[in-house]
């Protein structure tokens, strides 16, 4: 018989006393129980606020220096990382290589469960080598139960290459340790369905990744106020959003906003700069480049030069 590690002590594998009669609850009682337990996901993220804020600062610093952000995981954790990475280009107009998701089993594992592929530390290390990760990059390992060999192999390999490493797990460090630069623990407790970490643990992980990626993009100047001024205008919905941003921030009519958007090459940030400064597209683009794409700094600099 294979020597199988006992995992019953892990927080994510324990039995939830609130759901012992799960199979006897009415549909309404099921919903109420889920809602009650899901509050713990929000609380778990709040309890990790210092580590999350440190991670935002660290990631934004590395990306400003030319680094990349990688999420790596298996199963639900891997899918959540891939999802967050995939949503950065349309939301913030980032190049696809800036934020990347790596899942054990590759693209096929996004649609079909490939949980057996998470048991190889070698595969995790190979994924790091394949992407030529270096000292400018940040690797975020995501594993709800904390033990996934694929993730630990990737973290170890990334550290050897000098990358900044971040570990996200839903078990306390005394149960599973990891030698990462930043250790984020989202302690959501036992699941309603014992061991099913796609529930509270998955919810908390999604919340944390939302905070990380959005926080980093704010720091990189991808946001003005609370508007996504780097939105990629690639469909009718996003064009409408771009026009509404321009209308709200400039008081221009929809028609004038549409004309301004076209003159800017469909780049909301540049359109705003052009409107506020009177600069044309080439000069505005150059000013933004001088300030690493930070619209507020670019406008401030222009105004200071004019005074």
Q: Which of 13, 87, 97, 262 is catalytic?
A: 87
Mark whether 57 is an active-site residue.
no
Burial of 39 (0-12, 13-18, 19+ CB in 10 A): exposed
- The structure tokens listed for 11 are 């927080």
Q: Which of 13, 118, 262, 280 is catalytic?
A: 118
Burial of 154 (0-12, 13-18, 19+ CB in 10 A): buried
Tell whether the torsion through CA atoms of 273, 275, 277 and 280 is positive or negative. positive
Answer yes or no: are the C-beta atoms of 189 and 61 closer than 8 Å.
Answer: no
| Secondary structure letter of residue 273 according to DSSP | H
How far apart (Å, rounded) are the C-alpha atoms in residues 307 and 295?
19
Mark whether 289 is an active-site residue.
no
Task: Count the neighbouring beta carbons within 10 Å of the beta carbon of residue 110.
Answer: 15
Q: Mind telling me the catalytic residues?
A: 87, 118
């Amino acid at each position: 018989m294979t020597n199988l590690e006992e995992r019953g002590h892990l927080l994510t594998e324990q039995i939830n006393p609130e759901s012992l009669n799960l199979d006897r609850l009415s549909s309404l009682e099921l919903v109420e129980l889920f809602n009650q337990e899901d509050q713990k996901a929000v609380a778990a993220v709040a309890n990790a606020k210092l580590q999350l804020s440190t991670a935002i600062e660290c990631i934004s610093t590395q990306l400003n220096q030319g680094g990349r952000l990688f999420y790596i995981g298996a199963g639900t954790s891997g899918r959540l990382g891939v999802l967050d990475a995939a949503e950065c280009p349309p939301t913030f107009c980032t190049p696809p290589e800036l934020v990347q998701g790596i899942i054990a089993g590759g693209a096929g594992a996004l649609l079909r469960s490939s949980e057996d592929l998470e048991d190889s530390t070698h595969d995790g290390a190979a994924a790091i080598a394949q992407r030529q990760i270096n000292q400018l990059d940040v690797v975020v390992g995501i594993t709800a139960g904390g033990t996934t060999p694929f993730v630990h192999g990737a973290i170890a390999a990334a550290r050897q290459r000098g990358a900044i490493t971040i570990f996200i797990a839903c078990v306390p460090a005394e149960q599973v340790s990891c030698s990462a630069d930043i250790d984020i623990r989202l302690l959501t407790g036992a699941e309603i369905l014992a061991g099913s970490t796609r529930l509270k643990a998955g919810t908390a992980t999604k919340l944390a990744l939302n905070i990380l990626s959005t926080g980093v993009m704010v720091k990189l100047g991808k946001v003005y106020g609370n508007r996504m001024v780097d939105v990629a205008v690639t469909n009718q919905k996003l064009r409408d959003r771009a026009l509404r941003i321009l209308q709200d921030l400039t008081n221009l009519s929809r028609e004038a906003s549409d004309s301004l958007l076209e003159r800017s090459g469909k780049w909301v940030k540049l359109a705003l700069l052009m409107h506020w400064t009177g600069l044309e597209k080439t000069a505005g683009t150059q000013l933004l480049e001088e300030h690493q794409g930070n619209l507020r700094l670019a406008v401030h600099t222009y105004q200071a030069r004019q005074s």
